[in-house]
Amino acid sequence: MKIGDIVKGRITAVTPINGQIILSVQLKDNATALLNFHEIGIEKVDATNLRVLARKYIGRKIVGKVIGTNPLTISNKQAVEELRQTNSLEVGQVFDGIVVGVSETKAKIEYNHCIITILPQEEMGIMQASNLKLLLTHGQKLRVEVIEKDGDKITVSHKRFLQDKEEWKNRIEKYQVRGQYLGIATNFIKNGVFVNLEPGIDVLCSPQPEWFDIQRGDELIIEITHINDKMKGIVIGRAFA
């Protein structure tokens, strides 16, 4: 391994050393590279809370450019800049991205370790007002399509893959009528509650008299009563608080 090489690895530790924050990155050959937090180029993160930083970064896959060999040191910032010169995204392009940031209304989806795209909540699925924090987690893989480019801002959508017949068949075949599953309450309407099983698959459940004080984000056990192929993304069932 020499200076200038681009390597990939997984962050395994976040350590304060001499007033600096150092990330340990385990490479594919089991070598460990050191990455100074200041050499992170993907996004800005508050480094004042080490626990929050650790929860966000440990386990995350990352790229780096070798900038030192004794000890082995890498720069994510330099690697990202180099990769961006050979990678681009165009409207209509489909890719399997990684969730690297989530708020209630949008998610950051990373392409090939170097390009950050934005997924608005209305482009996640059928439920327009879903809280994305309840549906997505850091490090999760998600298939998306580029729908808009405005300078460096790239907007993507997941909805297309809920409408594709083959995609829907592959995703729904793991669920069976009368099956019992654990889901998360995401939306409430007059006639019931939507319970999410996974990104893009929501169960519409009729309200039950014994329900009380159910909030968004609560876990519920649901039973699927009907799967309608014409309403892709929505399954009918009943929930148990």
- 94 is written with which tokens? 């489909």
54: CB partners within 8 A, 6+ apart? 14
pLDDT band at 175 (very low <50, low <70, confident <90, very high): confident
The whole-number average pLDDT for the span 84-101 is 91
d(CA 206, CA 21): 50
The residue ranking higher by pLDDT, 163 or 186, is 186
pLDDT for the residue 97: 93
Domains for the chain: give ranges and CATH numbers. Answer: 6-84 (2.40.50), 94-163 (2.40.50.140), 176-240 (2.40.50.140)
Q: What does the pLDDT look like over 109-140, one tens digit per residue?
A: 999 888 999 999 889 876 656 678 877 888 88
Q: Does position 3 have pLDDT exceeding 90, yes or no?
A: yes
d(CA 65, CA 67): 6
pLDDT band at 157 (very low <50, low <70, confident <90, very high): very high
The whole-number average pLDDT for the span 53-69 is 89
With 0-12 CB in 10 A as exposed, 13-18 as middle and 19+ as buried, what is 178? Answer: exposed
3-state secondary structure of 81: helix
Q: What does the pLDDT look like over 180-229, one tens digit per residue?
A: 988 888 877 777 788 888 877 888 887 665 555 778 888 888 888 887 66
Instruction: Identify the sign of the CA torsion 122, 169, 173, 147.
Output: negative
Q: Does position 89 have pLDDT exceeding 60, yes or no?
A: yes
Q: pTM of the entire structure?
A: 0.64
